[in-house]
């Protein structure tokens, strides 16, 4: 029996659209953990097991995304489970970021932790709600996360590591490898914080362009998956609106509302910089043939896709 194609290879071969595929996340914690990561990175790492479980439970209860991060290229190949916990007495302080993503009031804080157990002091629910916890100092530069969690999905390692190394060469301290961010089949995946933009299928040759544009406040629509502050249908509507109007500035489109129409159709309204209002009408479906959506899928599924039905100026 022939081995199944890697999920990212299959997705590329089928030219699956990227838009409308970003995870929906409002609160983030990024914890530096340079050792190997397992499939469930937080609980299968060199973190103390009891601490890892406690952090995992706290993040899940607050609906916060807890990721492990590490500097690109400093680990042995492969995300292996195993290895004893690091000797905390000999360890160096760990970088930690706390972020909130929203249309208004997004922020990013940074702190150096002598002990990762300090994270137990953080009120994660406040982070999700957008309240600054004062846990660290304000970070004035963005953070770029390249998912490289190969134990979670081999495509993340195959495409993520070259992406991380390419960005390290051009953007240095702003770049981190991260554990699973969602959307394995769109690797190499790149997440930008604190604004929450997701980019997919970013190769080493694309990396500088995508990040360079983002640092200037512009979105590379060819690789844009969406912004994590919105549900997938709004992400897709924004992509259609941007593609039609040519508006690629991060803040060019202001969301004004979303309504449900008969027949499983959504209408999403945006305001443009000149005051014009756009109405995007689209339908979400699962028409494609079922297939494995990750390399470790237990059963095939049909991916969500979006069809544009109408895009016009909205007089209201």
Domain match, 153 and 101 both: yes
**pLDDT value at residue 103:** 85
**pLDDT value at residue 74:** 62
CA distances from 60 to 114, 128, 194, 239 (A): 24, 11, 20, 30
Number of domains present in the structure of the chain: 2
Cα–Cα distance measured from residue 214 to residue 171, given in angstroms and rounded to the nearest whole number: 12
Domain match, 210 and 240 both: no
Q: Confirm whether 101 is domain-assigned.
A: yes
Q: Confirm whether 221 is domain-assigned.
A: no
pLDDT < 70 positions in the chain: 1-3, 74-91, 315-316
Domain match, 183 and 244 both: no
Domain match, 60 and 196 both: yes
Domain match, 239 and 126 both: no
Domain match, 201 and 279 both: no
Domain match, 242 and 293 both: yes
Residue 93: domain span:
7-215
Joined together, the tokens standing for residue 259 give 């309504």
Of 169, 185, 215, which one is at a domain's C-terminal end? 215
Domain match, 17 and 64 both: yes
**pLDDT value at residue 226:** 98
Domain match, 114 and 15 both: yes
**pLDDT value at residue 20:** 97
Of 215, 249, 282, which one is at a domain's C-terminal end? 215
75: CATH: 3.40.30.10
Domain match, 282 and 154 both: no
Domain match, 166 and 246 both: no
The mean of the pLDDT values for the chain is: 92
Domain match, 112 and 16 both: yes
**pLDDT value at residue 316:** 63
Of 187, 215, 243, which one is at a domain's C-terminal end? 215
């Amino acid at each position: 029996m022939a081995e199944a194609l890697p999920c990212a290879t299959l997705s590329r071969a089928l030219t699956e659209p990227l838009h409308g595929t970003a995870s929906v996340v409002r609160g983030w914690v990024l914890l530096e953990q340079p050792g190997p990561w397992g499939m469930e990175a937080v609980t299968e790492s060199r973190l103390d097991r009891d601490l890892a479980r406690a952090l995992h439970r706290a993040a899940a209860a607050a609906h916060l995304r807890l990721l492990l991060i590490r500097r690109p290229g400093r680990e042995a190949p492969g995300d292996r489970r195993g290895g004893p916990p690091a000797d905390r007495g000999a360890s160096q302080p760990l970088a930690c970021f706390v972020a909130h993503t929203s249309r208004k009031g997004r922020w990013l804080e940074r702190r150096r932790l002598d002990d990762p157990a300090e994270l137990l002091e953080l009120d994660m629910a406040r982070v999700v709600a957008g309240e600054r916890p004062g846990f660290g100092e304000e970070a004035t530069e963005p953070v770029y996360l390249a998912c490289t969690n190969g134990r979670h999905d081999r495509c993340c390692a195959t495409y993520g590591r070259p992406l991380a190394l390419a960005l390290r060469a051009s953007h240095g301290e702003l770049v981190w490898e991260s554990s699973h961010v969602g959307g394995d089949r769109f690797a190499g995946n790149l997440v930008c914080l604190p604004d929450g933009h997701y980019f997919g299928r970013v190769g080493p040759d694309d990396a500088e362009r995508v990040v360079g544009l983002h640092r200037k406040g512009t979105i590379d629509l060819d690789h844009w998956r969406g912004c994590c502050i919105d549900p997938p249908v709004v992400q897709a509507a924004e992509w259609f609106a941007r593609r039609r109007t040519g508006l690629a500035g991060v803040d060019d489109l202001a969301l004004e509302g979303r309504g449900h129409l008969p027949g499983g159709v959504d209408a999403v309204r945006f305001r443009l910089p000149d005051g014009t209002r756009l109405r995007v009408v689209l339908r979400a479906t699962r028409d494609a043939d079922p297939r494995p959506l990750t390399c470790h899928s237990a059963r095939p599924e049909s991916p969500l896709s979006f069809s544009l039905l109408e895009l016009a100026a909205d007089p209201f």
